[in-house]
Homo-oligomer: A and B are copies of this chain.
Amino acid sequence: MQRGPERTTARGQPFGDDGIPMIAPIIAPDEQPEPPPLHALQADLIAVLVAVSSGAPRVMTLEGGRALPSGPFELGHRSLQSGLRAWVERQTHHPLGYVEQLYTFADKDRGGEGGARTISISYLGLTREMSGGEGGWRSWYEYFPWEDHRAGVPPVIGGLVAPALAGWSAAAPSRAERDHRRQRAITAFGLDDQPWNEEMTLQRYELLYEAGLVPEAHRTATAADKTVPGTTMMGDHRRILATGVARLRAKIKYRPVVFELMPDTFTLLQLQRCVEALAGRTVHKQNFRRLMEQQELVEETGELTSEGIGRPAKLFRFRHAVLAERAFAGTKLPLARP
């Protein structure tokens, strides 16, 4: 949506998801009676850094694709977000553009042993540049092969996921629980002719986890035939990635964030392909451009593309002005007039 810090809070700090400022304000700290500090507490910052290239949504990884960029929040950091930026830029040599917070957790079972507790704060970042460099960019469908429905329902669903989930449902201790599991599998994966909902990425991953169908669910090595394909990651990084995918898929529908992933000028088909890559499903071409035009999100540059086959397409650019003009918030209540 914005390039750099365009939408900002009263303190000049950028807004994130749902209009929530990414950084905390400057407030006179004088009244709250602070309780004694907690020992051995630390905070980790974890980034889901996304770009789209050659038709695939890519995520920046480390350790041969097994980890997301992350690092501890340090005393020197001005804010959580600046701490994150510092770490990611050091680890990936890649500047961070748009950033929004995903989620914070601090489970007892995580973190170091002994009394230490780790708070994990995850972020979603979007970028256009693709320096390659570290070579850590991976298609997120390597991690979630069942999520790409652009070429129809992927065979892994009918072939592996559905039967495995059926077995898990059947193994439920009670009839009610069995029906509940079935229902959840059906809605999450669009079985039984239920519609596929691309935004349920996290629920699907969690369902597979609960059913023991992803290796992360086991503390010991598991037979490969008992799990569903897809690259695993350290700790719960794959779950954080699923959170980022779900958030981004939801967000592109009501906020113009796709443009963060596009070059300055682009054709409508390129834009469409980008959206399709993220959503994991195809879009009706004519309706897509109708939508783009009537929302006035883009404007023609006046130029045409020459590259590629077929009739040359008009080049467009994002209308940054809409960020100031419009509010971007869905209204679904039947409002009465004043």
A residues contacting B by CB (< 8 A) are: 9-12, 15, 18-21, 23-29, 31-32, 34-43, 67, 70-75, 77-80, 101-113, 115-121, 149, 152-153, 180, 183-184, 187, 195, 197, 199-200, 202-203, 205-211, 216-217, 219, 234-236, 239, 243, 246-247, 250, 252-254, 275, 279, 281-285, 287-288, 290-291, 324-327, 329-336, 338
Check A338–B152 contact: CB distance below 8 A. yes
Cα separation A279 to B285 with both chains bound (whole Å): 36
Residues of B within 8 A of A239 (CB): 25
Check A72–B35 contact: CB distance below 8 A. yes
Check A31–B253 contact: CB distance below 8 A. no
Residues of B within 8 A of A290 (CB): 334
Interchain residue pairs with CB less than 8 A apart (30): A10-B210, A10-B217, A11-B206, A12-B210, A19-B203, A19-B246, A20-B103, A21-B103, A26-B107, A28-B235, A31-B234, A32-B235, A37-B41, A38-B41, A38-B74, A40-B75, A73-B119, A75-B117, A79-B107, A80-B106, A184-B324, A200-B329, A250-B329, A253-B330, A253-B331, A253-B333, A254-B330, A282-B335, A288-B333, A330-B330
Cα separation A31 to B291 with both chains bound (whole Å): 47
Tell which of B101, B234, B243, B327 touches A32, judged by Cβ atoms closer than 8 Å.
B234
Residues of B within 8 A of A20 (CB): 102-103, 202, 243, 246-247
Check B75–A104 contact: CB distance below 8 A. no
Check A19–B324 contact: CB distance below 8 A. no
Q: Which residue of B lies closest to A321 (CB)?
A: B183
Check A199–B19 contact: CB distance below 8 A. yes
Residues of B within 8 A of A70 (CB): 32
Tell which of B27, B39, B103, B246 touches A216, judged by Cβ atoms closer than 8 Å.
B27
Check A11–B253 contact: CB distance below 8 A. no
Contact A120 to B24, CB < 8 A, known contacts A284-B334, A330-B330 = yes
Contact A284 to B37, CB < 8 A, known contacts A119-B43, A121-B104 = no
Tell which of B105, B113, B199, B287 touches A23, judged by Cβ atoms closer than 8 Å.
B105
Q: Which residue of B lies closest to A338 (CB)?
A: B152
Cα separation A297 to B38 with both chains bound (whole Å): 44
Tell which of B35, B74, B287 touches A334, judged by Cβ atoms closer than 8 Å.
B287
Instruction: Quote the shortest CB–CB distance from A35 to chain B (angstroms).
Output: 5
Q: Which of A26, A104, A200, A236 has the most CB of B within 10 A?
A: A104
Cα separation A92 to B310 with both chains bound (whole Å): 67
Tell which of B103, B206, B281 touches A101, judged by Cβ atoms closer than 8 Å.
B103
Instruction: Quote the shortest CB–CB distance from A145 to chain B (angstroms).
Output: 17
Check B38–A246 contact: CB distance below 8 A. no
- Report the 8 A-B pairs with minimum CB-CB distance, sorted nearest first: A10-B210, A24-B105, A287-B334, A10-B209, A24-B107, A10-B206, A253-B332, A199-B329
